[in-house]
């Protein structure tokens, strides 16, 4: 077995949606990066770039535009021009029109695989400063004052010893790097499972996204660029099992009954997938020469479509700090600045998402009426709408340069 010793500036563990985006943001910066991913992008077992679709907020769109990734995926991205929020059996509903907010779109829906292909194509470009280890496994992680030491094991059993000045946990909600750094995480089980699929309707979607709160769980219906709709339906685990086992026609009938006819008649459904829903929150964002981003830091309920958008802003801010001062990569002051700058956005979006799940899941008498009134008031109150439009578009607190459409580096 060959053993070599390597020195790198930054090691990103996890090349999913967030880790791959960070690696792209650091490309060409002169920073020596190692990216370790256990499951290759092309593999059917890749869990980040699976059959799901993601609603990207405007800040995320700007980040990808500034990174030169957007031009390759724009043709496959569906703009969301309006949002309709309602609750089954209640009178209140809210409508948001991008035009009224003076914006082109609230965001763009894109297939995870399309985004993944664009990111991994960029990473595959010859680049002496980017060391790709895919598929590979990280082991023996030992954080120290000057560097983190670890070993990385490739497919053929080749083992390398590596020293990195900063290790980035982008390895998802069950982060191994987070545990190795001794950072605790709290896990709150929502006792819900998202059942996800794509459906075709007999009328055009008109670029409208729907969020419908039903007694059996929140239901999101998003327009896709091929004219179909992505459906994300959070149900109890038992209901989800039933829903997954239904024949296509029975699934469509159940969906239609819960959603209503505002998007037309649902005529076809694709394969269904399922995701247990939990709120996972790391106790801290940073530890010795270690930083957590994306789901490794916070994994949210998908009800408001915010998890990835938040994680991408983590990546954009971290790239900015590293590129501004590469010699300080992983130094305590740099990590603390990152933690401070990201704290408001992280806490705000996490709280917003969690309260939405809880408010609309609250069966107490009277709460339903308050929700209806809330939605009505929201529909009538332009400032509230503008505030939500801003949250959906991203950020609270310092805004990463990339999210403002600027290059990662100050020039
Ligand atoms: C049903 C559903 C719908 C969603 N829709 C939206 C949406 O519309 N908008 C939105 O903003 N967010 C959405 N989200 C949230 C979004 O999917 C996550 O925020 C996003 O996947 C986080 O990306 P990540 O790269 O941090 O983590 P992950 O996607 O979990 O990726 C982690 C990566 O690390 C790799 N890995 C894991 N362990 C190791 C290891 N030890 N070594 C090497 N590699 C490792 C994995 O193979 C994977 O590639 C949704 C989530 C769900 C469940």
Q: Is residue 245 a part of any domain in this protein?
A: no
Number of compact structural domains in the chain: 1
- Is the model's pLDDT at 409 over the cut of 90? no
Confidence of residue 167 (pLDDT cuts 50, 70, 90): very high
Average confidence score pLDDT of the chain: 90
What separation in Å is there between the alpha carbon of 311 and the centre of ligand 1? Answer: 9
What pLDDT score does 94 carry?
A: 80
- Is the model's pLDDT at 45 over the cut of 60? yes
Lowest mean per-residue pLDDT among 49-58, 284-293, 321-330, 357-366: 357-366
What pLDDT score does 226 carry?
A: 97
Q: Is residue 91 a part of any domain in this protein?
A: no
| Cβ atoms < 10 Å from Cβ of 150 | 23
| Phi, psi angle pair for 400, to nearest 5° | -60, 145
Using CA positions, which residue lies closest to atom 2 of ligand 1?
302
What separation in Å is there between the alpha carbon of 367 and the centre of ligand 1? Answer: 33
Confidence of residue 42 (pLDDT cuts 50, 70, 90): very high
- Enter the pTM of the model: 0.94
Question: What pLDDT, in 10s, does the model give residues 300-312?
Answer: 999 888 999 999 9
Q: Is residue 311 a part of any domain in this protein?
A: yes
Position in ligand 1 atom list of the atom nearest CA 20: 25
Task: Find the CATH number of the domain harbouring 62.
Answer: 3.50.50.60
pLDDT exceeding 90 applies to what percent of the chain? 74
The pLDDT of 287-293, averaged and rounded, is 98
Q: How many CA atoms lie within 13 A of 156 on its CB side?
A: 4
pLDDT exceeding 70 applies to what percent of the chain? 88
- Cα separations (Å) of 14 from 63, 139, 180? 20, 13, 15
Higher-scoring residue by pLDDT: 382, 149: 149
What separation in Å is there between the alpha carbon of 48 and the centre of ligand 1? Answer: 5
Q: In the 8-state DSSP scheme, what is residue 43?
A: S
Q: Is residue 144 a part of any domain in this protein?
A: yes
What pLDDT score does 12 carry?
A: 98
Q: Is residue 274 a part of any domain in this protein?
A: no
Question: What pLDDT, in 10s, does the model give residues 119-151?
Answer: 999 999 989 999 999 999 999 999 999 999 999
Q: Is residue 247 a part of any domain in this protein?
A: no
Q: Is residue 354 a part of any domain in this protein?
A: yes
Using CA positions, which residue lies closest to atom 9 of ligand 1?
305
The pLDDT of 168-191, averaged and rounded, is 97
Q: Is residue 42 a part of any domain in this protein?
A: yes
Is the C-alpha dihedral spanning 131, 136, 140, 143 positive or negative?
Answer: positive
- The single residue listed with the structure tokens 């023996």 is 140
What separation in Å is there between the alpha carbon of 85 and the centre of ligand 1? Answer: 26
Q: Which domain holds residue 313?
A: 3-77+108-187+281-361+398-404
């Amino acid at each position: 077995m060959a053993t070599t010793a390597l020195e790198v500036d930054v090691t990103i563990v996890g090349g999913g949606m967030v880790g791959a985006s960070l690696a792209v943001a650091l490309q060409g910066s002169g920073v020596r990066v190692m990216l370790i991913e256990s499951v290759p992008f092309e593999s059917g077992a890749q869990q980040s770039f699976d059959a799901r679709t993601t609603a990207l907020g405007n800040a995320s769109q700007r980040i990808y535009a500034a990174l030169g990734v957007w031009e390759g995926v724009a043709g496959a991205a569906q703009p969301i021009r309006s949002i309709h929020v309602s609750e089954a059996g209640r009178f209140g509903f809210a409508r948001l029109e991008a035009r009224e907010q003076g914006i082109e779109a609230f965001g763009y829906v894109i297939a995870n695989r399309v985004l993944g292909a664009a990111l991994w194509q960029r990473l595959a470009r010859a680049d002496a400063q980017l060391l790709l280890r895919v598929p590979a496994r990280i082991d023996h992680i030992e954080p120290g004052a000057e560097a983190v030491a670890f070993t990385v094991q490739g497919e053929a059993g080749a083992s390398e010893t590596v020293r990195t000045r900063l290790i980035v946990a982008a390895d998802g909600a069950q982060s191994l790097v987070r545990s190795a750094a001794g950072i605790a995480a709290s896990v709150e089980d929502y006792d819900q499972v998202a059942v996800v699929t794509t459906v075709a309707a007999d009328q055009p979607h008109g670029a409208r996204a729907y969020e419908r709160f039903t007694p059996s769980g929140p239901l999101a219906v998003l327009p896709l660029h091929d004219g179909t709709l992505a459906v994300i339906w959070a149900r109890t685990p038992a209901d989800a099992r039933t829903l997954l086992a239904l024949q296509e026609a029975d699934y469509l009938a159940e969906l239609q009954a819960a959603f209503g006819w505002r998007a037309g008649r649902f005529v076809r459904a694709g394969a269904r997938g399922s995701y247990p829903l939990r709120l996972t929150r790391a106790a801290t964002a940073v530890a010795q020469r270690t930083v957590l981003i994306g789901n490794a830091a916070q994994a949210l309920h998908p009800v408001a479509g915010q998890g990835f958008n938040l994680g991408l802003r983590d990546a954009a801010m971290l790239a900015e700090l590293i590129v501004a001062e590469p010699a300080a990569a992983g130094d305590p002051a740099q990590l603390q600045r990152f933690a401070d700058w990201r704290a408001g956005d992280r806490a705000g979006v996490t709280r917003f998402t969690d309260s939405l799940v809880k408010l609309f899941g609250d069966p107490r008498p009277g709460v339903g009426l308050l929700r209806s009134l809330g939605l009505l008031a929201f529909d009538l109150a332009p400032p509230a709408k503008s505030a939500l439009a801003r949250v959906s578009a991203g950020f609270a607190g310092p805004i990463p340069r990339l999210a403002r459409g600027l290059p990662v580096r100050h020039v």
